[in-house]
Amino acid sequence: MKKPANLPKVQLNPNAATVLAKRYYRRGPDGQALEDAEGLFWRVASAIAEEERKYQDSVFKPEELAKIFYKLMTDWKFLPNSPTLMNAGTGLGQLSACFVLPIGDSIEEIFDAVKHAAMIHKSGGGTGFSFSRLRPKDSRVGSTGGVASGPLSFLRIFNTATEQIKQGGTRRGANMGILRVDHPDIMEFIRAKEREGEFNNFNLSVALTEDFMKAVAKDEEYPLVAPNTGEVSGCLNAREVFEILVRKAWESGDPGIVFIDRINRDNPTPDQGEMESTNPCGEQPLLPYEACNLGSVNLARFFVPDQKSLESSIDWEDLKRVIHLAVRFLDNVVDASVFPLPQITENVRRNRKIGLGVMGWADLLYQLEIAYDSQEAVKLGEQMMQFIHDEGRSASRQLARERGPFPAFATSVFQERDLGPFRNATVTTIAPTGTLSILAGCSSGVEPLFALSFSRHVLDGEKLVEVNPYFEAALKKADTYSPALMEKVTEKGNIHGLDVLPEKLRQVFVTAMNIAPVWHLRMQAAFQLFTDNAVSKTVNLPHSATQDDIRQIYWMAYEQGCKGVTVYRDGCKSVQVLYSGEAKAQAPGAAAGESVVEEQRRAVRNRPDLIYGFTQKVNTGHGKMYVTINEIDGKPFELFATIGKSGRSTMAKAEAIGRLVSLALRSGIAVADIVAQIKGIGGDAPVFQKGKQGVVQSIPDAIAWILENRYLKARVSVDGCGGFGAYCPNCDGELIFSEGCQSCPICGYNKCG
């Protein structure tokens, strides 16, 4: 479809411009961008609108709908998931983000799943697996007479394979690994991530059953069942297992939990089998060999200023219009998608699942002057999601009238309950929106903001301060804005305890770490009540949170109808970089005025048995030096420096510097900080490098030169799963834990894809 000459220009915020250029624009063989923002959004809008030609009874002409879709996206009222933005209208054509693959109990089936996962990761998707069908460790293998190695050994194979596959050349794959709580190897699975760096390409969750939760309540034992035989192989005390899950969540946030029976109660097509797993962030349960494409409405765009009531402060009519268009858009994506496996194509077209969610929820509350941690906000969240769900279903009915219901409708629960025909087996999902919300300039998903103001590092050590626009406007309206105040807010990230500000302002502009955990959970439950699939949300806990707090959250999630829950206690990771003020104050051994970042980084990461890297030669005044840097997830982990024919004293200096730099790297110290300390140290024999690469003044200066050029100036395009959770591999920003995953608030990187 030809691009109109008078297409409106796209208004981009600076971060959106950077993210689009870095991750989304199509590029030629020379790496140069082949499109701009207008070209990208027209490519997507026209490709998806073109699918209307397949349906004679469509109420839209493709050319007309393409312009509507273009405006819908460029007004930042709706955006589809990243694979659609990247691939629609291109030769790749894989437009979905979420996949679930089965793993059968045979070597052939296991390695078929490895191969299929690689194909999905290559095309830009994330994968979920259940390892629950695999026979337990030390079981007999009939065909060989040997013994099975168990689910964890194969989980390690999947993790290693993922490490080698880049999604579409931009990021490595992400996975969800699930094991049922009644599997005989469940205790080994629960402890799988005790050693940091293990299974770093996986989120892990335990599938809890109703029988298990009832046994927890009664402090009873429950049976462990071998999946290959169906026989009971032992028993565990349910409450003790639950307590271990609580303790592990308190220690590191892993593994999470999903309520698998509840997920299957909401399975719209139970005749096609049980749901065993979800996508990597947990919000999209799927059948084996099934996929779902997602999109999000930006709620911040529907605020109506200067209205006298809450009801009139939201443009419900425009929201309805956008919901109906978004459902049509996502249904067209099902037709436009080219999937890597025929089984996936068959299942997706049979059920036509879509997942419409939201972003900008915290920003809408700020504009409405409603505190996130209030019953008013929870009630509005429930009302908002009911509206989206009802209008989404209405739009799906309209499409069923135009195009027919999804092919499996006749055997679905909708037919059994006489609910009328729908085009889509599911309509709503609350997915992570890290990158999308940066493009739209809004808050992520249904999460509160992590910080009202933060500093962003740019070239040459300069820092740019970014402030939430609604917070800044509120400060100016209250006549309390000042550079000194903003400096303090940027340092803290929040306004908790700043009594110089009006009480109402402090109540409204709360951030994730200043919200009591119970309100996180209540908000998740409110949105879950009217969500077909599930809600991606993190219950952020202060560093001082106890295991009792997590136990309460887990039980509350079960009682209030959530399909899973992710908790994260601030400062629980040994190399976490971004901390709340409370975690900073309570870090063990932190002295007055000492940075908790430096304190926490002293926990040195263990070295894996196998690690890869590169060796670079550099000329020094003492001869050729060979510097080897080994990496994990594309980030430097350790460094070795050797100088060939120099004296023992010089070799000792090179080795000592390498050891100290390695210790700093393994302790989580940023590359930029290391370079700042050793760059420019003078020596007795400076030497010029070839070309325009400057002068190397000494051995430490040479090491700084390599680190700076490799990681700070010409960063390699890598995007691991962030197993150690310190810095963003795209922009060196500090990672936060949000929407069930580590993510970067600056560039939108998300470890779960």
- DSSP one-letter string for 326-360: HHHHHHHHHHH---SSHHHHHHHHHH--EEEEEE-
The pTM score is 0.82
How confident is the model at residue 367, as a pLDDT?
97
Give the single-character DSSP code of 601: T
Quote the CA–CA distance of 409 and 400 in Å, as a whole number: 10
| Given 51, 163, 283, 739, the catalytic residue | 283
Nearby residues of 496 by Cβ (< 8 Å), 6 or more positions away: 506, 510, 511, 514, 581
Please report, for the chain, how many H helices and E strands are present, in that order.
26, 25
Return the residue matching tokens 């040997």: 146
| Given 281, 442, 744, 747, the catalytic residue | 281
Tell me the two tokens of residue 283: 């919000």
Whether 281 sits among the annotated catalytic residues: the reply is: yes
3-class DSSP assignment, residue 215? helix
How confident is the model at residue 669, as a pLDDT?
87
Helices (H), 75-184: 82-87, 107-123, 151-164
Quote the CA–CA distance of 732 and 712 in Å, as a whole number: 9
Quote the CA–CA distance of 723 and 746 in Å, as a whole number: 19
Q: Please, are residues 201 and 579 in contact by the beta-carbon 8 Å criterion?
A: no
Give the single-character DSSP code of 33: B
Nearest to 178 by CA among 284, 293, 292: 284
Mean pLDDT, consecutive 10-residue stretches, the chain (753 aa), reads: 92 91 92 95 98 94 97 98 95 92 96 95 90 94 80 94 64 84 97 83 96 98 97 97 95 93 97 96 96 96 90 96 98 96 97 98 98 98 98 98 97 90 98 93 95 68 75 94 90 89 95 93 98 95 91 97 93 50 41 34 68 86 88 86 76 90 89 87 70 70 88 45 46 70 72 65
Furthest-apart CA atoms within the chain: distance in Å: 86
Whether 203 sits among the annotated catalytic residues: the reply is: no
Quote the CA–CA distance of 695 and 717 in Å, as a whole number: 27
Tell me the CB-side half-sphere exposure of residue 485, using CA atoms within 13 A.
17
Tell me the CB-side half-sphere exposure of residue 422, using CA atoms within 13 A.
31
| Given 81, 267, 279, 514, the catalytic residue | 279
Nearby residues of 153 by Cβ (< 8 Å), 6 or more positions away: 137
Whether 283 sits among the annotated catalytic residues: the reply is: yes
Nearest to 317 by CA among 422, 387, 401, 386: 387
Strand (E) or helix (H) holding 463: strand 463-467
Pairing of strands 612-620, 623-632: antiparallel
How confident is the model at residue 581, as a pLDDT?
44
How confident is the model at residue 720, as a pLDDT?
30
Q: Please, are residues 566 and 257 in contact by the beta-carbon 8 Å criterion?
A: no
Domain segments of the chain as ranges? 14-90+293-436, 98-278, 612-713
Preceding amide of 255 cis, omega within 30: yes
How confident is the model at residue 635, as a pLDDT?
82
Q: Please, are residues 704 and 616 in contact by the beta-carbon 8 Å criterion?
A: no
3-class DSSP assignment, residue 296? strand
Q: Would you tell me how many other CB atoms lie within 10 Å of the CB of residue 271?
A: 10
What separation, in Å, do the N-terminal and C-terminal C-alpha atoms of the chain show? 30
Tell me the two tokens of residue 305: 């200023």
Q: Would you tell me how many other CB atoms lie within 10 Å of the CB of residue 25?
A: 17
Quote the CA–CA distance of 694 and 526 in Å, as a whole number: 59
Q: Please, are residues 324 and 391 in contact by the beta-carbon 8 Å criterion?
A: yes
At the topology level, CATH places domain 98-278 in: Anaerobic Ribonucleotide-triphosphate Reductase Large Chain (3.20.70)
Strand (E) or helix (H) holding 491: helix 483-492
Quote the CA–CA distance of 228 and 529 in Å, as a whole number: 36
Quote the CA–CA distance of 260 and 249 in Å, as a whole number: 19
3-class DSSP assignment, residue 724? coil
How confident is the model at residue 529, as a pLDDT?
98
Q: Which residues of 625-648 are buried (b: 16+ CB within 10 A; e: fewer)?
A: bebebbbbbebbbbbbbebeebee
Nearby residues of 358 by Cβ (< 8 Å), 6 or more positions away: 296, 297, 298, 299, 384, 385, 388, 430, 445, 446, 527
How confident is the model at residue 463, as a pLDDT?
60
3-class DSSP assignment, residue 511? coil
